[in-house]
Structures are given as structure tokens and as C-alpha cells.
């Protein structure tokens, strides 16, 4: 009997969208599968994905990842035309799609890609239903973050 490999925490992450949490209030998160071609999976395994400018389009009862870039590898198949910026279909349950449609159309939310990661052998995308931040909200977040750092520094030195 063979031992399973020890899984390193955080090593399953392919790409992060750090800007999304800075520019949006994330109300709800969903996990979606991706419909990918073979060369795209190879480039994901090599870590050549970028989802920083991507967002989710909802049309014809389906969700699509738009604006992401998967750089093709030089050793990828030569008989397939590789389009690095094509829109990729997201695999969601119908109930989740209905919830997304309702929030986007009625309440004016937007859907953004937060992170892409491996779950077993499947590439998954964490998407968030988000509401945009104003400039003063961003400043408040920065001020709170800096205060937490200062408070930790003060508490560390106060115990001496």
C-alpha cells in the first residue's frame, strides 16, 4: 500500500486577484468549475494564468469567465489554435446561476473572479458577488489595516 503525498497548504493556488478585494465589497462567494481545453490545463499546471483583470459575464443562462489570460506553452499542441484570452464557460448549478442572475440584474451587483486553484485534479474558480467601493471606503480599509499593524507593534513592545 502506498502512502499519499503530504499536501502543502497554499500550493494548490494557481492565480489570485488581489485587486478584487481592494476595489469591491465581496458579499457572497461561489465555487465554479472551468471548461478548459488541453493546452489550457498544461499552462495552468505551469502557472501561466492571470485573472487580475477578469470578470464574469452572464448570458443565455450561462456564466463565462471573460478577460482572463492563459499563456500557451511553447510545447503545446501545434494543430490547435491557442487563443489566450478566450471566454471560458463556468460550470455552476442552476440554483447558483439563478442566484447570480437575480443579484446582478435586480440589485446591481457585479460578479468578479477572486482566485483560481486546484481541487484534486480539477481547476476551480472562486467567484464573488460584489459591490463596488467608493474612494473613501478604500481609504478606510487602508487606515484600518495600518492601525492593526501599529496596534500589534505597540502590544508587542508593551509586554517588555
Q: Which three cell numbers stand for residue 121?
A: 485534479
Q: Report d(CA 85, CA 29) in Å as an integer.
A: 24
How confident is the model at residue 11, as a pLDDT? 66
Is the pLDDT higher at 34 or at 80?
A: 34
pLDDT at 7: 46
pTM score of the predicted model: 0.73
Domain ranges for the chain: 13-133
Residue 6 confidence (pLDDT) above 50: no
Residue with cell 489550457: 40
The full length of the chain comes to 160
Question: Would you tell me which CATH number, out of the four given (2.10.10.90, 3.40.50.300, 2.40.280.10, 3.30.379.10), belongs to the domain 13-133?
Answer: 2.40.280.10
Q: What is the DSSP letter of 85?
A: T
For all residues of the chain together, what is the average pLDDT?
A: 83
Cα 26 to Cα 14, 31, 122, 126, distances in angstroms: 20, 14, 24, 12
Give percent above pLDDT 70 in the chain. 90
CA angle at 34 for the pair 14 and 31, rounded to the nearest 5°: 75
Instruction: Write out pLDDT tens, residues 118-151.
Output: 888 888 999 988 887 777 777 888 888 889 999 9
Q: 72 CB contacts (<8 Å, ≥6 apart)?
A: 39, 43, 48, 82, 84
Amino acid at each position: 500500500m502506498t502512502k499519499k503525498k503530504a499536501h502543502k497548504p497554499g500550493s494548490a493556488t494557481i492565480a489570485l486577484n488581489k485587486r478584487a478585494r481592494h476595489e469591491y465589497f465581496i458579499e457572497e462567494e461561489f465555487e465554479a468549475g472551468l471548461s478548459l481545453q488541453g493546452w489550457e490545463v498544461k499552462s495552468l499546471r505551469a502557472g501561466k494564468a492571470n485573472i487580475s483583470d477578469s470578470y464574469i459575464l452572464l448570458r443565455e443562462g450561462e456564466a463565462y469567465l471573460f478577460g482572463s489570460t492563459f499563456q500557451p506553452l511553447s510545447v503545446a499542441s501545434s494543430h490547435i489554435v491557442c487563443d489566450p484570452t478566450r471566454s471560458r464557460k463556468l460550470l455552476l448549478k442552476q440554483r447558483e446561476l439563478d442566484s447570480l442572475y437575480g443579484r446582478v440584474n435586480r440589485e446591481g451587483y457585479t460578479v468578479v473572479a477572486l482566485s483560481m486553484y486546484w481541487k484534486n485534479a480539477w481547476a476551480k474558480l472562486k467567484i464573488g458577488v460584489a459591490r463596488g467601493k467608493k474612494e473613501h471606503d478604500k481609504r478606510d480599509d487602508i487606515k484600518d489595516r495600518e492601525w492593526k499593524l501599529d496596534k500589534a507593534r505597540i502590544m508587542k513592545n508593551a509586554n517588555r
